Amino acid sequence: MPGHDTNPSSTDRTFREARRELAGLTADAERRLLLWLAARTPPVVHSDHLTLLGLGGMALCGGAYAMSGSSSWLLLLVNVGLAVNWLGDSLDGTLARYRGRQRPRFGFYVDHLADAFGALFVLVGLGLSGLMSPLVAGALLAAYYLLAIETSLAAHALGTFKISWGPFGGTELRIVLGLVNVAVLRWPSIAVAGETVWLFDLLGVSAAAALALLAVTAGVRGTRELLRLEGTARHPHALPTP
């Protein structure tokens, strides 16, 4: 879970940070790289600066996507924005932990609020680009938010914050999106069952369905786990709480 630079207040000492689950394909290499970067980050740079940098990267992606319909080379600028976002979004918490200056509640709240706005920037940009249907962009944004809501609820109720799903975490998804951007430069549309469809639409529908399925599956598992933990906790003869 991300942290930010500052000395923890007395109230933070009573806050129990959710256990993070990160198991993406690049997780081990990413941890080592981020620690290496944290050790070499100038003292003047704080975690808040990195969070803003990450959000700025998403704003750059959204703006480049919005204009890429008429200037397809801007898809490469999106990849620059993805790299900037990775640096800011991934290093902010590592830097705070490296310096021993975490704000777990502030970090969780601000970083995931930034993620929500970042997804909005990217998918609005795609919807305006002409390379993805606004309907598909809206469906993908809704599915992303649904999974993000479930993840945040699980962090609060179960004490586990899931950062990756199977082999895919945020870094892997950025890599995949970067490769898709390069592919769209060459094949913006493809033939499917005799019909021409935008490549972004085809992949966007698939991604929306996968995210929605993950959200439903995780929701069912979380509900079962909470029933296991609390379903039999009440004494059978206890009176209902008003």
pTM for the predicted model, two decimal places: 0.82
**What is the 3-class SS of the chain, one letter each residue?**
CCCCCCCCCCHHHHCCCCEEECCCCCHHHHHHHHHHHHHCCCCCCCHHHHHHHHHHHHHHHHHHHHHCCCCCCHHHHHHHHHHHHHHHHHHHHHHHHHHCCCCHHHHHHHHHHHHHHHHHHHHHHHHHHCCCCHHHHHHHHHHHHHHHHHHHHHHHHCCEEECCECCECHHHHHHHHHHHHHHHHHCCEEEECCEEEEHHHHHHHHHHHHHHHHHHHHHHHHHHHHHHHHCCCCCCCCCCCC
Q: What value does the mean pLDDT take over residues 41-62?
A: 96
Q: Can you give the residue ranges of every domain in the chain? A: 11-227
Ranges 2-6, 26-30, 130-134, 180-184: which has the least confidence: 2-6
Q: Which fold has domain 11-227?
A: Four Helix Bundle (Hemerythrin (Met), subunit A) (1.20.120)
Ranges 118-132, 154-168, 179-193: which has the least confidence: 154-168
